[in-house]
Structure 1
Amino acid sequence: MKKNERLLKTIGINPQQSDIDKPFAPKSGPGVLMSQQRTAAELEKAKAEIEVLKNKLLPIEQLVSVPERMRKLKSGEFEDLKANLASNQLVHPIIVRKIAEDKYEIVAGHNRVAAYKELGRTHIEADIKTISDNEVFEAAFYSNFFTSDLSDFEKYEGFKIIQNNTGETQKSIAERAGVTPTLISYLFSFEKLPKDAIGLIKNQPFCLGATQAAKIAKGEESKIIQGLNMLLSGELQTEAQLVAFVLQKNNTKEITEPTTFKIGKKIFAELSSRNDIIAIKLKDQNQVTAIKQIIETAINEFIEKIN
Structure 2
Amino acid sequence: MAKQNDKALAESMGRRRPREVIQDEVADSILGELVPPGAVDIPIESLYRSPFQVRESASSDDIDRLAESIQSSGLISPIVVRSVINPAKDLQVKSVPTFLEADRNLQVKSFEIVTGHHRVQAILRLGWTTVPVLIKHMTDSQAAIALTADNAIKKDLTDWDRYQSILMLERTGACKTGREIAATLGVSPPQISQLRAFGKLPMDAIEIIQTAPGCCGYRLAYELDTLGLNQTCPELVTNAFAALVSGKIKAQNQVVQWIRLQMSAKRPRTYRRELKIQNPGSSPVRIVVTEDGATIDAKGLVPEKLAKLLEQNLADLVS
Question: Which bracket does the TM-score occupy, shorter chain normalised?
Answer: 0.5 to 0.7
**What do residues 19-67 of structure 1 show as CA deviations (whole Å, max 9, x unaligned)?**
xx99xxxxxxxxxxxxxxxxxx99xx9xxx9xx8564333322212247
Residues 83 and 137, structure 2, Cα contact 8 Å, conserved in 1: yes
User: Which of these residues, 62, 69, 75, is aligned with residue 84 of structure 1?
Assistant: 69
Q: How does 1:192-207 map to 2 (within 5 A)?
A: 192-207=200-215
The amino acid across from 1:240 in the alignment is: N
Q: Which residue of 1 aligns with 2:135?
A: 128
Distance across 2 between alignment mates of 1:213 and 1:243: 10
Q: Which residue of 2 aligns with 1:150?
A: 157
Residues 57 and 124, structure 1, Cα contact 8 Å, conserved in 2: yes
The amino acid across from 1:98 in the alignment is: S
Q: How does 1:22-101 map to 2 (within 5 A)?
A: 55-66=39-50, 69=53, 71-73=56-58, 76-99=61-84, 101=108
Q: How does 1:171-186 map to 2 (within 5 A)?
A: 171-175=179-183, 179-186=187-194
Q: Which residue of 1 aligns with 2:238?
A: 225
Distance across 2 between alignment mates of 1:151 and 1:191: 15
* Displacement of 1:224: 0.9
SS where residue 58 of structure 2 aligns? coil
Distance across 2 between alignment mates of 1:149 and 1:203: 15
Percent pairwise identity: 29
Distance across 2 between alignment mates of 1:95 and 1:60: 13
* Displacement of 1:240: 2.9
* Displacement of 1:122: 2.3
Q: Number of paired residues?
A: 218
Q: Which residue of 2 aligns with 1:239?
A: 252
Q: Which residue of 2 aligns with 1:141?
A: 148
Residues 216 and 247, structure 1, Cα contact 8 Å, conserved in 2: no
Distance across 1 between alignment mates of 2:159 and 2:193: 12
The amino acid across from 1:93 in the alignment is: P
Q: Which residue of 2 aligns with 1:264?
A: none
**CA separation of 1:62 and 1:74: change in aligned 2, threshold 3 A:** closer
Normalising by structure 2, report the TM-score: 0.56
* Structure 2 gap segments, 5+ residues each: 11-18, 28-35, 86-107, 268-319
C-alpha RMSD over aligned residues? 3.7
User: Which of these residues, 197, 219, 228, is aligned with residue 189 of structure 1?
Assistant: 197
Distance across 1 between alignment mates of 2:38 and 2:113: 17
Distance across 2 between alignment mates of 1:113 and 1:186: 33
Q: Which residue of 2 aligns with 1:209?
A: 217
* Structure 1 gap segments, 5+ residues each: 1-16, 23-40, 255-307
The amino acid across from 1:133 in the alignment is: D
**What do residues 158-185 of structure 1 show as CA deviations (whole Å, max 9, x unaligned)?**
0122134438342343256554213323
**What do residues 176-219 of structure 1 show as CA deviations (whole Å, max 9, x unaligned)?**
65542133233223233223322321222111111122223332
Residues 52 and 144, structure 2, Cα contact 8 Å, conserved in 1: no
Distance across 2 between alignment mates of 1:66 and 1:169: 23
SS where residue 248 of structure 1 aligns? helix
* Displacement of 1:96: 0.8
Distance across 2 between alignment mates of 1:252 and 1:155: 36
**What do residues 84-138 of structure 1 show as CA deviations (whole Å, max 9, x unaligned)?**
2221222332221112553211122121111111112223222211112343322
Distance across 1 between alignment mates of 2:222 and 2:110: 43
**CA separation of 1:244 and 1:159: change in aligned 2, threshold 3 A:** same
* Displacement of 1:139: 2.4
